[in-house]
Structure 1
Amino acid sequence: MIALDFTLGLIALIAGAELLVRGASKLALSFGISPLVVGLTVVAFGTSAPEVAVSIRSAYAGQVDIAMGNVVGSNIFNVLFILGVAALISPLLVARQLIRQEVPIMLGCFVLLYLFALDGKISRFDGFAGVLLLGLYNVFLILQSRREQQRNGDESPPAKDGWDSKLWVQLLLIAAGLALLVFGARALVDAAVALARLFGLSELVIGLTIIAAGTSLPEVAASVLAAIRGQRDIAVGNVVGSNIFNVLGVLGVSSLVAPEALPVAPAMLNADLPVLIGIGIACLPIFFTGNVIARWEGALFLAFYVAYTAYVLMAAQQREAASAFGFAMGAFVAPLTVVTLLVVGWREYVQRRARKARK
């Protein structure tokens, strides 16, 4: 019964996200919003809709560890697993705007989340600040896009083709998507809580691993398909945009609807959030080098996700083994990776200076 509820919940979440993305994207294009802004806002919201539904449902029901673990775990999964798999399929092109603007904003969101959590909770004020910042970010993207269109003389015409071009169809798709998300979130959360009790795992561990991976399936599908089709910049932009939305929007709204402030577990404050910030910092030199995420860098991301998941599971079951594993990661693997990234970044910097000198 638990497996059936979990499966049905996942299917409903994925189907709901697909309907919501299609309806909202067509509705936005019908009002003349550029595809770039649609991708960074509407599509990012759509692929994060399962996280929204699960976290809000969990926060409202008082299962706060699932709400927090889902957001933090999904962001870690998005960068390490999704970009890792997509880069192994095909080296990923990173657009200059992402390097200059979105990736630093994503890292800033991770740091802001850590600062919010330092007092042991995510308060309603923190949530309101996150939602406000997300709104300002979206307004900034729209204004930036319009300036670019005016500068280039490119006015995107409203989308009028296809069976879903009519307003009532778009509204129906959005409503159906939201209904499926609500149903899927309830089924998935209830099944996850039962699973946690069955195996003696905490709700935080379930949120960081199983639910985080499950609610990130829309991002997996979008980024992997984009990599296969050669739309490599979309694969990266989808992940970065979703991560920004997860921190500011998902946790922000969850803290606003929760009966009280969302408590932050000490394990998350001491381990998971620093890991998240470290991942954001690691993105800077990797994205910077040649504007491409190479296959070996994708493999490095995947290896780190496997190591992180192993640590989380061992910490839940065998604290001594987890301590030894964490020491090995901190004393050897992480420094070696940092040195590698610094060497790669320095080499790219020297090569760029040499190219400029030749010109």
Structure 2
Amino acid sequence: MVQLVSGLILLVAGAELLVRAAVRLAARLHVRPLIIGLTIVALGSSAPQMAVSLQATLAENTDIAVGSVIGSSIFNILVTLGLSALIIPLRVSRQLVRLDIPLMIGASLLVFVLAYNEELTPVDGLILLAALLLYLGLLLRQSRHSARPQAGVDHTGQGLPAASSNPPWVSSLLSMLLGLGLLAFAGHLLLQAAVEVASDLGLSERIIGLTVIAVGTSLPALATSLIAALRGQRDIAVGNVIGSNLFNLLGVLGFTALVAPMPLSVSPNALDFDLPVMLGVAVLCLPVFYSGYRVTRAEGLLFLGLYLAYGLHVVSFTTGMPLAGKLENLMLFFVLPALVAFLLFSSLRAWRRQHKKGEAQ
């Protein structure tokens, strides 16, 4: 209990420090907070995932290494974005819809294709890392073309203090590193406590990776996005999630597959269910984000409901409960068709609204 409470306190403190420092750094480097959220903040949020996947791979627990990345990607979108949208509706940058979301879908599809033979080899790892370098190059190009903030105004709309009273950008960067360190340590404490409980309950490696470890390694990203949403830094709240998923899929899986002593095995259950769900969740972001360039509270509730259904299915399927079949039929024949119809309608309405606005101009 002490370990759990200490981890939660450090998690909140690290996220608060990280968001404050990220906003200051974005203002001093004259880049949008979205770029900071997609890169430095997302990379830091993915650090616990990298540590866990490498440790699991070296211990030959490859189901945990792969499953935790898949589960973390699903959790980041459905839970982190869902809870953040409940706090405050999230405005979505056009860059995310035009560049980062399609790239996240592409990264999910790439992992699915490479894992189709039930393993990820060092060559696959090199392909994933090359894709990550390409993405970072595109972000660097975007940052050079991003609008510079007006002097004396930060990205929250508040005036910056005089230059003499401001810490230099190095101080902001050091504050970010300290916040990332607190997040990593807090995530480690919470992860240890969660794994002990899951092991005592006799859960399989795949389930531990998809649920307990995936949630544990996603807690830094969750805390960062929630704090960012509370402080009104919506670009960081959303960019952190998308960037973290891209770093997890391309960086964590790529580097882990590259250095693993043997190819990473991918279970048939992951190929049949978990990877398609991960890809579907990534695709879901595109119409949701495009319809109004925001994530509303209702859509946040939708995300949380989908994750609840996913979690119930994973647990019931693993434990052999008859609920698994009923949930699967409900999702396939009722929920998914209704969801697809609703998203198509919303996207078409958003396209018509933007088309009329363009004609009026």
Q: In the alignment, what sits opposite 1:86?
A: 84
- In the alignment, is residue 231 of structure 1 matched against residue 244 of structure 2? no
Once superposed, what is the RMSD of the aligned Cα atoms?
3.7
CA, structure 1 residues 159+44, in 2 after alignment: closer, same or farther (shift >3 Å)? farther
Q: In the alignment, what sits opposite 2:223?
A: 221
Task: Check conservation: 1:12, 1:180, Cα contact below 8 A.
Answer: no
CA, structure 1 residues 181+61, in 2 after alignment: closer, same or farther (shift >3 Å)? farther
Task: Check conservation: 1:13, 1:50, Cα contact below 8 A.
Answer: no
The one of 242, 248, 251 aligned to 2:250: 248
Question: Displacement, 1:45?
Answer: 0.4
Task: Check conservation: 2:221, 2:241, Cα contact below 8 A.
Answer: yes
User: Per-residue displacement from partner, 1:124-167 (whole Å, max 9, x unpaired)?
Assistant: 111122122212221221233124469x99xx9x9994399459
CA, structure 1 residues 351+22, in 2 after alignment: closer, same or farther (shift >3 Å)? closer
Unpaired runs of 5+ residues, structure 1, are none
- In the alignment, is residue 162 of structure 1 matched against residue 164 of structure 2? no
What secondary structure sits across from 1:118 in the alignment? Answer: helix
CA, structure 1 residues 230+173, in 2 after alignment: closer, same or farther (shift >3 Å)? closer
CA distance in 2, matches of 1:233, 1:142: 17
The one of 282, 285, 306 aligned to 1:283: 285
Task: Check conservation: 1:29, 1:159, Cα contact below 8 A.
Answer: no
Question: Displacement, 1:97?
Answer: 0.6
User: Per-residue displacement from partner, 1:253-309 (whole Å, max 9, x unpaired)?
Assistant: 222232211100111110011011111111111101111112211111111011000
CA, structure 1 residues 182+52, in 2 after alignment: closer, same or farther (shift >3 Å)? farther
CA, structure 1 residues 357+322, in 2 after alignment: closer, same or farther (shift >3 Å)? same
Equivalent residues in 2 for 1:1-359, closer than 5 Å: 14=11, 32=29, 34=31, 36=33, 37-148=35-146, 161-162=166-167, 165=170, 170=174, 174=177, 181=184, 185=188, 194-359=196-361
Task: Check conservation: 1:289, 1:344, Cα contact below 8 A.
Answer: yes
CA distance in 2, matches of 1:7, 1:249: 31
Question: Displacement, 1:210?
Answer: 1.6
User: Per-residue displacement from partner, 1:70-97 (whole Å, max 9, x unpaired)?
Assistant: 1111111111111111112221100111
Q: TM-score, normalization: structure 2?
A: 0.83
Letter matched to residue 340 of structure 1? F
Task: Check conservation: 2:11, 2:186, Cα contact below 8 A.
Answer: no
CA, structure 1 residues 164+356, in 2 after alignment: closer, same or farther (shift >3 Å)? closer
Task: Check conservation: 1:16, 1:178, Cα contact below 8 A.
Answer: no
CA distance in 1, matches of 2:83, 2:20: 28
Letter matched to residue 133 of structure 1? A
CA, structure 1 residues 65+15, in 2 after alignment: closer, same or farther (shift >3 Å)? farther
CA distance in 1, matches of 2:124, 2:13: 28
CA distance in 2, matches of 1:304, 1:118: 25
Aligned residues: 351
Q: Using the TM superposition, name which of 275-284 and 227-236 deviates more.
A: 227-236
Q: TM-score, normalization: structure 1?
A: 0.84
Task: Check conservation: 1:68, 1:207, Cα contact below 8 A.
Answer: yes
